[in-house]
Structure 1
Amino acid sequence: MKLLVVSAGVSLPSSTRLLADRLAAATAPAATAPEPAPAGIHVLELRDLAGEIAHTFTNGFPEQKLSAAFDAVRAADGLIAVTPVFSASYSGLFKSFFDALGATDDSALAGKPVLIAATGGTARHSLVLDHALRPLFAHLKAVVVPTGVYAASEDWGAAGLEQRVRRAAGELAALMSGVSGTRPALQRDSFAHVTPFEERLAALSPGPGPGPDEAPGTSQT
């Protein structure tokens, strides 16, 4: 089981990297719960690839380190993508990496489970998860887990952040482990009490008109 973490933090130390590490630590054990070995975790620090990312748009192809990073994305069973908030959206470095990935291989993230997360100075930017990151990864055909994690400055050390981390990590681990594919199929008897659609439609369809013993506007049951 391979878990890839993409961190777009640019400072040292980086709260973006700290959040990424928390998410990875919570995901790895859950993703391999029945197995003796933990999930392999690989971290991509995008600031180390900034030059090659920029060159990709002028050269038309990724250089050695960036090409290896794209290979890591393709090989991963799940992805944790974390960005700082710049101008109420993801950072330019974060977007450029995934733009370059999509230009090189537009199916690299197709069907891949992705956990999205972001850090910012204020809780007012928490909507970046739904207004920016989800549309980006939907365009890349990824499967984004329901819970995104946003950490504002005041969230660090708060119980709410840890709860969101655990919930999102559990959702990513479930997708990585293929839990949805192991659910038992519903039995036909489970629907025995449901009226078939055709019968419901027939009951709603108007008849030829009221009979001699039935006044207009009434119905018999």
Structure 2
Amino acid sequence: MLLHLVKKDLILVKKYLLFMLVFAVVGPIFINSRLEFDNGSFIGFFITVLFVEYILFNMISMQEDKYRGSALLCTTPHTRNGVIKAKYLFILVVFIACFLLYNLATAIGVSTGLTRLSIMNVGISLLIISAFFGILIPVQTKFGYEKTRYIFFIVIFLTPFLLPIIIEWYQSNNFNINLNLPIPQAAKDWIPFVIAILIGFISMVVSIQIFSKKNL
């Protein structure tokens, strides 16, 4: 049932899907070529994923708000829980698709210095994405698309300008955040994934509770 809802979301954004797929390949190459410090590949991947995720999710939210899609879905065999769960599954599916397309971008953008990401970098990207949408989805579920769209749009708009500055400042000051946990490094690399899943789960539970009480 959840896969049918994800498929429904993909159909809603089919006009923009091809452009977003191309952007998922070209975006990291372009961003990395404009950065003049280490870890540009990570920044290129993260910003690209954030833009693709937000634009597609925003388009779906706009369509559902315009045509009262959530209310109509709840008149079908789909449950309210399922409607919310599908939103989080959609975010995960798009993230995985962007990661696969990034690997294609690394093959194309070798001359720009684009490199494959470490497990830690992929995990950190997923963690930040989970935190962002972990806030966005419950807030949007509570207050609606129209009341919240400008707040999150401003955050997305500022990210490409502020994030490289923050990373450059961090590197120039030689900060080193090192978690001295008594576990192998291979296990440490997966910690961001675990935290991301935990954030997503908590956010999903909150969103379900809000949506279950909402008068559609």
Shared fold per TM-score greater than 0.5: no
Q: Which has the higher contact order (CA 8 A, sep 6+)?
A: 2
| Richer in strand (by share) | 1
* TM superposition score normalised by structure 1: 0.30
| Richer in helix (by share) | 2
* TM superposition score normalised by structure 2: 0.30
